[in-house]
A and B are shown apart, each in its own frame.
Chain A
């Protein structure tokens, strides 16, 4: 792997150039791609697995797989689609594998001060825990929908499910979440 270092004050490369440079073997370009997309990949894994260490492991694997498959990446848009798809598939496979360890979710000690003051951290933690209780495919539908703000057709393409199945997963998941929140007194069911 080439180790061409980017000058400190160089303007940020256009996304297309970045992918092309990474394909050509530029370590700096690939590192920039990792930094640009790490929050998306890690976030999906973390919200799905509810484990910081397992999310880190999975996210690293996704980027190693990206490095092995750079030749297949056609454009920056394709890159994002590829990362979401591979991350989603690996998350679902992970919880079905012996590597999965269901952990007691910790408080958000990894990002002290990241929470806006007006947010209720208990509610956020509860919502994440309830989402993590959903079956794998509905869980990924919900995570993609609300972390990435994707429409249902995009989600269907990423996880390769019929659109109606994705709609059904989302509707039933939200119903289940409302029901569980109502049981805990957080909302009133109508």
Chain B
């Protein structure tokens, strides 16, 4: 079998059903339009995915730096809260010591009379 010859026979041009031209004109007359995509070349087919990858990478790195900044901020806030807590504890201890000192002083005064 000569495959290429057989394919030429099997894939001959086909005539559409009668009145095809009238149907096309009718469709045009009714105002039908079809979207005509801009012709794509090899370059535009390549440019879009490359641009998308770059945009994604930039957005990703921006997100990462924003995330890092937020983490640093959260750590700083936590450190500040820790300092405040430490001061509060220290303050409470000082107060407790003051109360004790006063008690001792009062007791000693009582003993002297």
Residues of A within 8 A of B (CB): 1, 27, 30-31, 34-35, 38-40, 42-43, 46-47, 52, 55-56, 59-61, 63-65, 67-69, 85-86, 89, 110-111, 119, 123-124, 127-128, 131, 142-143, 146-147, 149, 160-162, 174, 177-178, 181, 186-187
Given contacts A55-B16, A64-B32, 19 further A-B contacts (CB under 8 A): A31-B25, A34-B24, A42-B13, A42-B15, A47-B14, A56-B20, A59-B20, A60-B23, A64-B24, A67-B28, A110-B14, A123-B10, A124-B10, A127-B10, A127-B11, A131-B10, A131-B11, A142-B11, A160-B42
At the interface, is chain A mostly helix, strand, loop or mixed? helix
- Cα of A56 to Cα of B13 in the assembled complex, Å: 13
B42 → chain A closest CB, angstroms: 6
- The 5 A-B pairs of least Cβ separation, nearest first, read A43-B13, A127-B10, A39-B13, A124-B10, A146-B7
Known A-B contacts A31-B25, A68-B34; the reply to A43 vs B7 at CB < 8 A is no
Specify the chain A residue showing the minimal Cβ separation from B22.
A31
User: B67 interface residue, CB < 8 Å from A?
Assistant: no
- Cα of A56 to Cα of B24 in the assembled complex, Å: 10
Considering only residues 8-39 of chain B, those with a C-beta below 8 Å from chain A are: 8-17, 20-25, 27-29, 32-34, 36-37, 39
Known A-B contacts A64-B24, A174-B3; the reply to A59 vs B16 at CB < 8 A is yes
User: B110 interface residue, CB < 8 Å from A?
Assistant: no
Contact among A38, A131, A142 for B16, CB-based, below 8 A:
A38
- Cα of A149 to Cα of B7 in the assembled complex, Å: 11
In the complex the two chains form, is A160's CB within 8 Å of B41's CB? yes
Q: Which residues of A contact B20 (CB under 8 A)?
A: 34, 38, 42, 56, 59-60
Known A-B contacts A38-B16, A60-B23; the reply to A187 vs B34 at CB < 8 A is no
In the complex the two chains form, is A147's CB within 8 Å of B13's CB? yes
A181 → chain B closest CB, angstroms: 7
Q: Which residues of B contact A56 (CB under 8 A)?
A: 16-17, 20
Q: Which residues of B contact A60 (CB under 8 A)?
A: 20, 23-24, 27
User: B103 interface residue, CB < 8 Å from A?
Assistant: no
Residues of B within 8 A of A (CB): 1, 3-4, 6-17, 20-25, 27-29, 32-34, 36-37, 39-42
Residue pairs across A and B with Cβ atoms less than 8 A apart, 13 shown, are A31-B22, A39-B13, A42-B14, A55-B16, A64-B27, A67-B28, A68-B34, A124-B10, A128-B11, A147-B13, A160-B41, A186-B1, A187-B3
Q: Which residues of A contact B6 (CB under 8 A)?
A: 123-124, 127
- Cα of A56 to Cα of B32 in the assembled complex, Å: 16
- Cα of A146 to Cα of B37 in the assembled complex, Å: 27
In the complex the two chains form, is B34's CB within 8 Å of A1's CB? no
In the complex the two chains form, is B34's CB within 8 Å of A131's CB? no
Q: Which residues of B contact A67 (CB under 8 A)?
A: 24, 28
